Amino acid sequence: MSIRKKLSGLMKQLFCVILMLIILINTSACSFSMEPMNYPQAKSGNIDLTDWSWEQDGIIPLDGEWEFQWFGSAEPKTMDSNRSNYIQVPGTWDNKVLANGQMIRNQGLGVYSLNIVNQQEGKRLSLRLPNIATAYELYIDDRLEMKRGVVGYDASSSTPYQLPGFVDFEPRTATTSLKLVVSNFDHRKGGLRTAILLGESEQIHRTDRNEISMRFIIIGCLIMIGFYHVGFYLLRRRDMKNLLFSLLCFFVVLRMGVMGDSFLIQWFPSLSWSGAIRMEYILFVLSGWAGYGYFHKMFPREIKRQGFTLFSVSAILLVLSIVVLPPLTFSSLIIVYQIYVLLIGFTILIGLVLARIRRLEGATLEMIGVAGFLFAIVNDMMFYNGIWGIRDLVPYGLLFLILMNSFIIFRRFAHTYERAELLTEQFKDWNNTLEKKIEERTEELHASYRTLEDAKLELERMELSRRLLVSNISHDLRTPITLLQGYLEALRDDVITEEQQRAATIRLMLKKVEVLNVLIQDLFELSVLEARKVDLNIEVLMLGEWKERMIELYSMEMEEKHIQFRCELEEDKIDNVRVSIDIHRMDRVFSNLLYNAIRFTQVGGTIEITFAFDPSDRVVKILLKDSGIGIHPEDLPFIFDRFYRKSDSKVKSSAGSGLGLAIAKEIVELHGGTIQARNAIEGGCIFEIHLPRLDDKEAG
């Protein structure tokens, strides 16, 4: 299954989870705060439950007109004053004016009374008391049944404490009287913010359990997500956004711990009311700060760094104010903290809208998440200011934001996996071809190394031969020149007086000059040939014609030297095999070879030339064999080198320039052929020339 399909499956599941959550939020939010649509309201301090059936109608909020006596901070003479005043429950005191013209403030002491009339007797009922700011005592039929904090007439005599409570009781008569003494000198708002609920014990406790378990599901989720992001952060320290997000989760969880059901207050009874309210406010500010930090790291171009610095400094100041000021003061400043968080929320939202316009990845989902979260914040603010709303939506809002975030994370994971899969495929391919590539590259390297090595050897060889050439030339030129100089000086100084001797000396000198001339001509020819700057004058020649030409050129001379000369074709049929050669240069090759052969062959010896043709490799072979002294095996590898002469000094005297074979080799190679020398078993040496046969096509 492809990643894309898996992803869409995952998205659908997540969508279902969101739907379920929304339903859960609704049910849980409804459990205590959403009242039945039509239920009896208290009037003039009485609530009539004649038509109320616990089984069918369930829990009832004791809302409506409660009798109320206001004492402010004056100690009451008696609780049963007959001044009848009424107050709307739920509701905070908020400088309301009572019917008797008395104005109530948020700080002071008040007594609420309510008669529950016409109720069924003998049922086990429960009252669920919400957080009441900030201390109260509940009397049922004048018996003290529940107490939170210490009720007092001023700040010093009262002790604030908050925790929801339950009172189980069994009405003995049809009318039950409730009396609630409430004092507040520590919080900005006094009175009953939320409803007191009445129901069958079992109903009340079941509903409470449901609400608590729902809250702990949310808390569990937030803690999990928080640790999940801490884990991410520990693995990738550079990624501060994960740390900030986990902080946001933990701050919200802790804040839940000191609000509403206040699990932290239940777990740590030593945690004072003022400590808890400080925590609540500090965590409120810090949640805003962590949220901004997170979104700044996510979209740094849209949600700017300057904003983060500004909000961080403000957070420090606000936290300090909460630590330093008494709860009554800082809770009265709540609007400042709310503005701080709202500013953060809207800055983020604007940044996200910008990111959405710029089509940045994840911007849409984050935008939806933040809008939801912001809605929850505004809801809670309105609720706690007694304006409107459902109690404590922020945790759900955060959960919604987290879910949106999870979509983004899943999408990123999916993209990363896809890329990883692709890369793995590429790596596999690459790996498969890698060995072959390495082999090829190594072979290329070897080849270029060999070329370099050859070039180096060639350079060394050329350098050596250049040095040899220079020394050979100077030697070969100096010797005859020194001789000539000696003869000339002798002639000048009349050392040679005899006419005959003078003539002989001049002849000798002329011979030396001739040798010099030949040497210089050979040198010139060789240098031209080696530089490959010669244009061959190619002619097509049949082997038969070539053979005849050899006989014509050399047979007479051989006869004079008393050497038997043979020149023949290996088979008659090759008579018309054609070669393309520069005839005059080939003559030069053969004259070199033949005069060498004559030089090293005794009178009565033989010299023979054989022309052969091998049709398989289309090569013309010319063998030149003499019955002379042969070549010393030590000399064989070098005889084609320039100026190489036999090391034997006796022979050396009769030697030529030492350039003949070098010139012959150059000419043969210019024709695309090869020349080699070896000794014959029966004595003498053999020179073997191979020339490519002219193709019929080339012959045209």
Provide the binding-site residues for ligand ADP, judged by CB under 6 A: 592, 596-597, 600, 626, 628-631, 639, 644-646, 655-662, 685
Give dist(CA 298, CA 314) in Å, integer: 21
CB of 628 to ligand ADP, least distance (A): 5
Q: b/e string for 535-554 if b means 16 or more Cβ within 10 A?
A: eeeeeebebbebbebbeeeb
Do 694 and 581 contact (CB within 8 A), yes or no? no
Nearest CB to ligand ADP, comparing residues 25 and 563: 563
Q: Could you tell me the smallest distance in angstroms from the CB atom of residue 564 to ligand ADP?
A: 15
Task: Between 499 and 682, name the residue whose CB sits nearer to ligand ADP.
Answer: 682
Nearer to ligand ADP, 329 or 647 (CB): 647
Which residue number, 129 or 629, has a Cβ lying nearer to ligand ADP?
A: 629
In sequence order, what are the residues at sequence separation of 6 or more whose Cβ sits closer than 8 angstroms to the Cβ of residue 663? 522, 525, 526, 529, 588, 589, 592
Is residue 113 within 8 Å of 181, Cβ to Cβ? Answer: no
Query: CB-wise, 4 or 652, nearer to ligand ADP?
Result: 652
Smallest gap from residue 444 Cβ to ligand ADP (A)? 41
What is the rounded CA–CA span in Å between residue 300 and residue 316? 22
Least distance in Å: CB of 624 to ligand ADP? 8
Q: Quick one: which of 78, 134, 126 has its CA closest to 108?
A: 134
Rounded CA gap, 317 and 235, in Å?
33
Q: Rounded to the nearest whole angstrom, what is the least distance from the CB of residue 656 to ligand ADP in the complex?
A: 2
**Minimum separation from the CB atom of position 480 to ligand ADP (A):** 14
237/650 with CB nearer ligand ADP: 650
- Residue 600, helix vs strand vs coil: helix
Which CB sits closer to ligand ADP, 347 or 657?
A: 657
Q: CA 422 to CA 414: how far, in whole Å?
A: 12
* Tokens standing for residue 567: 């020149």
Which residue's CB is nearer to ligand ADP, number 366 or number 476? 476
The radius of gyration of the chain from alpha carbons, rounded to an integer in Å, stands at 60
Contact 122, 139 (CB under 8 A): no
Least Å from the CB of residue 589 to ligand ADP:
11
254: left (phi over 0), alpha (psi -120 to 50) or beta: alpha
Other C-beta atoms lying within 10 Å of the C-beta of residue 356: 18
Closest CB to ligand ADP among residues 189, 645: 645
CB of 596 to ligand ADP, least distance (A): 3
| C-beta of 60 vs 677, nearer to ligand ADP | 677
Task: Compute the least distance from the CB of residue 601 to ligand ADP, in Å.
Answer: 7
Q: How far apart are CA 517 and CA 508, in angstroms?
A: 14
Task: Indicate the SS3 state at residue 216.
Answer: helix
Residue placing its CB nearer to ligand ADP in the complex, 63 or 626: 626
Closest distance to ligand ADP from the beta carbon of 646 (Å): 3
Report, in Å, the least distance between residue 560 CB and ligand ADP.
18
What does the DSSP assignment read for 326-393? -HHHHHHTHHHHHHHHHHHHHHHHHHHHHHHHTT-TTHHHHHHHHHHHHHHHHHHHHHHTTSS--S--
Angle at 18 between CA 13 and CA 20, to 5 degrees: 95
Please give the residue whose beta carbon sits closest to ligand ADP in the complex. 656
